[in-house]
Amino acid sequence: MSDWAGHTGRAKEWFESLRDQICAAFESIEREAGSDASFQYTPWNREEEGNEDPGGGVQGLMKGKVFEKVGVNVSTVRGSFSEQFADQVNGASAEHPEFTATGISLVAHMHNPHVPAVHMNTRFLTTQSAWFGGGADLNPPIPYEEDTQEFHAAMRAACMAHNPTYYEKYKKWADEYFYIPHREMHRGVGGIFYDHLACDDDPSFDRNFAFTQDVGKAFLDIYPKLVRKRMESNFTDADVTQQLEYRGRYAEFNLVYDRGTIFGLKTGGNIDAILMSLPPRAEWS
């Protein structure tokens, strides 16, 4: 890799641009629903002993009429992993614990149980290696097959534009990753998940960066359409109960198994930003 900082900077600029586009799209949906809700942005700085430039990020949070709680966070951090954690990260080790990471992370929980919750995250990391990772997955409390098909079609198109093997590979990875073993159930209806998409030189960075951008663009195109389709649907108390119980399962996955949660906690991230994925309300029967 010719320039770690330069490539990280390019990725950071895209993640911030994607955040701005997504937040504008979500605020537009709130306006259509007669709400003046908007994102509130909270900058945060990471701290690491002996590190003069550990980075930080901005947490974006909105609570509105359609979006009960949606967080869109961008962060860029740099430093060293702990000795205990370094060996668990691609390209890092106790001898070489240095890293940089930049990315966008989004989770939306909706008021209407018929509107699917959603997760999207893309990131660029450098250790002794450099790679992109991320994906997007749909998490409806009340699934609709046509919504599932539309979401997957958008992810498939993003993948097929770059490699004909990507969609089946990354769909399978999502199905395996977003699974709750102790419940013997999937967290949602899937999507795509990829990691360690290696950037060994400038051409591979450009190629993988373009794919990561297209994943973000596909999400920005399809998810607002699904929200608009369902946001005025009538719902019952039983639908809300189903939604809240589903959110409990969602919370269990994110607290026990999610790599992003673990990474943030292990690298001194902002606790509120890390745990923004948790739903505002949930139930356990």
| pLDDT over 90, % of the chain | 81
N residues, the chain: 285
Could you give the number of structural domains in the chain? 1
Q: Is residue 243 part of a domain?
A: yes
Q: Look at residue 282 and tell me if it is in a domain.
A: no
Q: Within a domain: residue 285?
A: no
pLDDT digits over 13-24, tens only?
A: 999 999 999 999
CA distance 104 to 11: 10
* d(C-alpha 174, C-alpha 186), whole Å: 10
Q: How confident is the model at residue 98 (pLDDT cuts 50, 70, 90)?
A: confident
- For the segment 110-157, what is each residue's pLDDT rounded down to a tens digit? 999 999 999 999 999 999 899 999 999 999 999 999 999 999 999 999
pLDDT at 1 over 50: no
Q: Is 109 a catalytic residue?
A: no
pLDDT in tens, 205-239: 999 999 999 999 999 999 999 999 999 999 999 99
Residue 87 has pLDDT above 80, yes or no: no
Tell me the backbone φ, ψ of residue 206, rounded to 5 degrees.
Answer: -60, -40
Q: Which member of 7, 111, 114, 119 is catalytic?
A: 119
* Structural domain harbouring 198: 4-277
DSSP SS3 for 283: coil
Asked if the structure places residue 205 within a domain, the reply is yes
Q: Is residue 283 in a domain? A: no
Report the CATH number that the domain containing residue 22 is assigned in CATH.
3.40.1500.10
